[in-house]
Amino acid sequence: MTSQLDDVLAHVDAGLEQSLERLYALLRIKSISTDPAYAAECERAARWIVDELLTIGFDASARPTPGHPVVVAHGPEQNGPHVLFYAHYDVQPVDPVELWHSDPFEPQLKTDANGRKIIVARGASDDKGQMMTFIEACRAWQAVTGALPVKVSLMLEGEEESGGKNLPPFMEANRDELSADIALVCDTDMWDRQTPSITTMLRGLVAEEIEITCANKDLHSGMFGNAARNPNQVLAEIIASLRAPDGSVTLPGFYDDVAEISPALKAQWEGLGFDEQAFLGEAGLSVPAGEQSRSVLEMLWARPTCEINGMIGGYTGDGFKTVIPAKASAKISFRLVSGMQPDKIRAAFRAHVQSMIPADCSVTFHAHGGSPAITVPDDGVHLRQALAGLSGEWGKQAVITGSGGSIPVAGDFKRILGLDTLLIGFAHVDDQIHSPNEKYDFDSFHRGIRSWVRVLAALAQ
């Protein structure tokens, strides 16, 4: 396998210009999923990908959905594990287009202020460039050896940037065909420019909107002040009660199902050189506000949270209006970690709020979705193999990271297909995804291909 691996990597290097041209061809397709005017372009992108996969030995097709197609492809049968690779071919709108320095759908290879080569185009990083690193790695294996090291399937979505509502039903309907041993997702960042990473922890989410009603109409604060209950005051007291002075969340049972990270993982995170002051300083802050006994990385990746996303009540226009409002509302979200159940947290929150509603007032609740957290065991065999493959390419130990956000498809892989997900990406935080002048480092594209070559070889061991 070692000599084969060297030959495949050499083929990647020799064919890099052609790989870049294929990426450019895909980037020129205006596959903006959220705008119906570009539906035909999304179809064209799906067909382009199918044609490319057919040329490298995959059985590929664009499957219809109520929205944009899902591309499904299967490589030749192989021994060893079966991997299911996910990415998305749709992109965000380009507005405001006047802020772009070049045509967003005419890719440019430029040099940035630091002397790095960058690929500038909509979708360069999110997610066409990332997707093509994997496809080009498969192309190289097929070209050199006539086979892939492991069994490979792909599921490439066309609606990730517009909500992805049609993907879960598609996965449900095609559960048997999409069965595999591990899912791979290329839609994340490296830890830094020299350190590859695998994200194994994604937080879940519970989102709630509450509305408190006191009087049956808005009241004059001079005529009714003191005598009438003010829903803004009730709401403020509820919100203030959700966190203790030490930054912890006060809901009964909130931490019952929260496990501590392993000492080894905690030590690895402490060795990442994360600058807490610089991180907060970018937001104009300096003092961490969460659980005071935790590092900022623990707060972001491994601890649950409660955040007030919006508060509405009374007169908020220009000038002043002395009113006691009849209603006040708030939007509140909870980020969950592995082991926590969304329904349990939602019920605890509602019970807590109900306990603080005065007798002559009422509250209504509106759920805005919920999903569990995802965690891959840090001693899993596929994870360890993938880490070794990445480390071999970058000459530096790949690290395990978490994410404070939520990636729904990873939850769907677990819920529908029973698959753990390894999130392996080569983007950087300055790629300006969703913004004008989106870019992907040329080095990310080149070494991303080489990295997937090595990861596929490592998974075959």
> Could you read off the pLDDT of 307-323 as tens digits, one per residue?
999 999 999 999 999 99
Residue 181 · residue 83 · CB < 8 Å:
yes
- Distance (Å, rounded) from C-alpha 429 to C-alpha 433? 9
Least Cα distance to 394 among 205, 147, 98, 195 occurs for 195
> Could you read off the pLDDT of 401-417 as tens digits, one per residue?
999 887 889 989 999 99
Least Cα distance to 211 among 363, 367, 366, 368 occurs for 363
> Could you read off the pLDDT of 28-75 as tens digits, one per residue?
999 999 999 999 999 999 999 999 999 999 999 999 999 999 999 999
What does the pLDDT read at residue 341?
94
Residue 190 reports pLDDT greater than 70: yes
What does the pLDDT read at residue 153?
98
Q: Is 434 left (phi over 0), alpha (psi -120 to 50) or beta?
A: left
Type of residue found at 167: L
Instruction: Give the Å distances, CA to CA, from 319 to 115, 314, 315, 316, 322.
Output: 51, 13, 9, 9, 10
Angle, in degrees to the nearest 10, between helices 128-145 and 2-14: 120
- Distance (Å, rounded) from C-alpha 405 to C-alpha 424? 15
pTM: 0.89
Residue 193 reports pLDDT greater than 80: yes
Beta strand pairing status for 82-88 and 151-157? parallel
- Distance (Å, rounded) from C-alpha 224 to C-alpha 148? 76
- Distance (Å, rounded) from C-alpha 76 to C-alpha 55? 13
- Distance (Å, rounded) from C-alpha 215 to C-alpha 234? 12
What does the pLDDT read at residue 336?
95
What does the pLDDT read at residue 439?
98
- Indicate the pLDDT class of residue 92, thresholds 50, 70 and 90: very high
What does the pLDDT read at residue 371?
86
Residue 458 · residue 424 · CB < 8 Å:
no
What is the set of domains in the chain, with CATH numbers?
2-202+373-459 (3.40.630.10), 204-258+304-371 (3.30.70.360)
Question: Which helix or strand (DSSP H or E) is residue 84 part of?
Answer: strand 82-88
| Other beta carbons less than 10 A from residue 54's beta carbon | 13
> Could you read off the pLDDT of 205-247 as tens digits, one per residue?
999 999 999 999 999 999 999 999 999 999 999 999 999 999 9
Percentage of the chain lying above the pLDDT 70 cut: 100
What does the pLDDT read at residue 41?
98
Residue 1 reports pLDDT greater than 70: no
Q: What angle do CA 137, 138, 144 make, to 5 degrees?
A: 90
- Distance (Å, rounded) from C-alpha 456 to C-alpha 144? 14
- Distance (Å, rounded) from C-alpha 190 to C-alpha 399? 9
Least Cα distance to 326 among 212, 218, 211, 210 occurs for 218
DSSP lists the bridge partners of residue 70 as 63
Least Cα distance to 29 among 40, 20, 16, 18 occurs for 40
What does the pLDDT read at residue 294?
95
Residue 290 reports pLDDT greater than 80: yes
Q: Does 219 or 163 have the greater pLDDT score?
A: 219
> Could you read off the pLDDT of 326-364 as tens digits, one per residue?
999 999 999 999 999 999 999 999 999 999 999 999 999
Query: For residue 127, is the peptide bond before it cis, meaning its omega torsion is within 30 degrees of 0?
Result: yes
Query: Stretch 108-114: mean pLDDT, rounded?
Result: 97
What does the pLDDT read at residue 271?
94
Tokens 């990270």, residue?
Answer: 261
**Cα radius of gyration (the chain):** 25
Instruction: Give the Å distances, CA to CA, from 3 to 6, 112, 280.
Output: 5, 36, 47
